[in-house]
Amino acid sequence: MSTVTSLAHADTNDLDAFFMPFTANRQFKKAPRMLVGAEGMHYITMDGRRVLDAAAGMWCVNAGHCREQIVQAVQRQAATMDYSPAFQMGNPAAFELASRIAALAPGDLDTLFYANSGSEAVDTTLKIALAYHRARGQGERTRFIGRERGYHGVGFGGTSVGGMKNNRKAFGSLLPGVDHLRHTHDPKEMAFSRGQPEWGAHLAEDLVRLCELHDPSTIAAVIVEPVAGSTGVLPPPKGYLERLREICDQHGILLIFDEVITGFGRLGASFAAEKFGIVPDMMTMAKGMTNAMVPASAVLMRRGIYDALMQGPEWMIELAHGYTYSAHPLAVAAGLATLDIYRDEGLFERAAALSPKFEDAIHSLKGLPHVTDIRNLGLMAAIDLEPRPGQPSARGYEVFLECYQQGVYLRYTADTLAFSPPLIVEESQIDQIFDTVGKAIRAVA
Ligand SMILES: Cc1ncc(COP(=O)(O)O)c(C=O)c1O
């Protein structure tokens, strides 16, 4: 049994009682990294250190930690109405939040369905895609196309359309009828690109190949992250998303953007759809929706999808789908307060204004030992390190650990380091992040 003796209730604290998600449990429990507080741009560790958060938690605390306005909104709501069902009952604030989010999105992305996590939002989009086609008499459209290196959460739907191989391999055959586009990252052509790579629009033609293989009339939807996040920040090549949109339109296939990371200012715009000027048929969102203070997610869909589902007698439930905690009052209160902060502090614009500085700072690490690629867009970026022979992910972990010890928290996936600071980050903190990372890369052989 591994324990942490300095915790208040050390005698009852069996670390093995918590099977930690996406964690090397045995390694972690030998030397736990415990966080006990958070404020603005920082975490506070159990041993009292302040650690700069270069990852916005997990790409989610976009307005910074423990924002008073959101804390108060959640506290007020908890004391007023702790919970209300969203099945056959309404809370006016949930309609207000839906309208305000829809107003941030481009085109006729007008109707919002609430869930609680990014994974649930993804699976919701897939189910709505099927139900939509069926409602229009095209029930034979049942296939989904994801993309290699895509991450769409951990439900069976999201795992199936996802393309990160370690996330799939233990879980059997997953959903039938799913295929994948090739991913868009080719370091030979685009290493050290700043922003969207010039090369690679033609990779969207892979969708034409899959349409020919499966017959487009069998394909319900294509789902992609507009900028792939968890796989290591892959901005789309210029023209790529535009071409996916064209091919989907040509064949009546729905295009879904998974905006769980890219939503709420990460790219210096409300959503990636806004930034790239491409209107998908549905988009997911989560993370920054409530500044991560209360779990919440949603699917925003074009008006035509909602309208197509409004069929049959009015007393009938139109979509047999939803969650006990859909539109949870605490999440809705947090969401409204979060949107106020984004608006009042101009945080999406702030992210856009800071991104050239962020880009210069991270690209200044080009040329350091083992750095094989650096990529960025808006306030998200990644550094690829060359894996140590026979020890994949060891180097990434050691750099992460060294940075944490030196006061900077970042995310790492295998040998890729990822950065997505809260949008309130100061220029001096951007310097601190990349100075620390540079020293850590030099220190770790
Ligand atoms: C693009 C994308 N989709 C879905 C998810 C899953 O979200 P959650 O962990 O809230 O289920 C994530 C999480 O990082 C994500 O980045």
Task: For 258-272, write each residue's pLDDT tens digit.
Answer: 999 999 999 999 999
How far apart, in whole angstroms, are the C-alpha atoms of residue 134 and residue 125? 14
Q: Using a 6 Å cutoff on CB, does residue 123 contact ligand 1? A: no
Has residue 8 got a pLDDT over 80? no
381 and 321 part of one domain: no
Which of 344, 363, 381 is a domain's end point? 344
Has residue 132 got a pLDDT over 80? yes
Residue 338 located in a structural domain: yes
Q: Using a 6 Å cutoff on CB, does residue 408 contact ligand 1? A: no
329 and 430 part of one domain: no
97 and 174 part of one domain: yes
How far apart, in whole angstroms, are the C-alpha atoms of residue 65 and residue 71? 10
261 and 310 part of one domain: yes
* Predicted local distance difference test score (pLDDT) of residue 4: 54
205 and 239 part of one domain: yes
Ligand 1 centre distance from Cα of residue 285 (Å): 9
Asked whether 411 and 369 are in contact (CB, 8 A), the reply is: no
Q: Using a 6 Å cutoff on CB, does residue 258 contact ligand 1? A: yes
* Predicted local distance difference test score (pLDDT) of residue 13: 77
Has residue 221 got a pLDDT over 80? yes
Q: Using a 6 Å cutoff on CB, does residue 210 contact ligand 1? A: no
Ligand 1 centre distance from Cα of residue 410 (Å): 17
Average pLDDT over every residue of 347-370:
98
* Predicted local distance difference test score (pLDDT) of residue 2: 53
- Ligand 1 pocket, mutate which of 120, 126, 149, 152 (most atoms under 8 A from CB): 152
Q: Using a 6 Å cutoff on CB, does residue 152 contact ligand 1? A: yes
Question: Which stretch of 2-16, 109-123, 215-229, 342-356 has the lowest confidence by average pLDDT?
Answer: 2-16
Number of domains present in the structure of the chain: 2
Q: Using a 6 Å cutoff on CB, does residue 286 contact ligand 1? A: yes
Q: Using a 6 Å cutoff on CB, does residue 229 contact ligand 1? A: yes
Atom of ligand 1 at shortest distance to CA of 150? 1
Asked whether 422 and 42 are in contact (CB, 8 A), the reply is: no
Atom of ligand 1 at shortest distance to CA of 229? 16
Atom of ligand 1 at shortest distance to CA of 59? 14
Residue 302, token pair as written in the block = 């074009």
Residue 176, token pair as written in the block = 């039938």
Any idea what DSSP says for residue 345?
Answer: T
Ligand 1 centre distance from Cα of residue 151 (Å): 7
Average pLDDT over every residue of 29-55:
98
Among residues 220, 294, 227, 293, the alpha carbon closest in space to that of 259 is found at: 227
Q: pTM for the full model?
A: 0.97
* Predicted local distance difference test score (pLDDT) of residue 11: 57
pLDDT digits (tens, 9 = 90+) for 147-196: 999 999 999 999 999 999 999 999 999 999 999 999 999 999 999 999 99
Range of the domain at 371: 33-63+346-443
266 and 403 part of one domain: no
Among residues 267, 189, 170, the alpha carbon closest in space to that of 226 is found at: 267
79 and 56 part of one domain: no
DSSP 384-406: EEPPBTTBTTHHHHHHHHHHHHT
Average pLDDT over every residue of 314-333:
98
- Please report which confidence band the pLDDT of residue 445 belongs to, taking 50, 70 and 90 as the band edges: confident
Residue 173 belongs to a domain with what CATH number? 3.40.640.10
Residue 378 belongs to a domain with what CATH number? 3.90.1150.10
Distances (CA, A) of 71 to 65, 79, 270, 337: 10, 12, 23, 9
245 and 373 part of one domain: no
Among residues 208, 228, 227, the alpha carbon closest in space to that of 278 is found at: 227
Task: Enumerate residues 6+ apart whose C-beta is below 8 A from 208.
Answer: 247
435 and 295 part of one domain: no
Write phi, then psi, for 193 (nearest 5 degrees): -65, 145
Residue 296, token pair as written in the block = 């919440």
Q: Using a 6 Å cutoff on CB, does residue 305 contact ligand 1? A: no
SS3 211: helix
How far apart, in whole angstroms, are the C-alpha atoms of residue 443 and residue 188? 27
* Predicted local distance difference test score (pLDDT) of residue 120: 98
361 and 337 part of one domain: no
Arithmetic mean of pLDDT over the chain: 97
Q: Using a 6 Å cutoff on CB, does residue 257 contact ligand 1? A: no
Atom of ligand 1 at shortest distance to CA of 119? 11
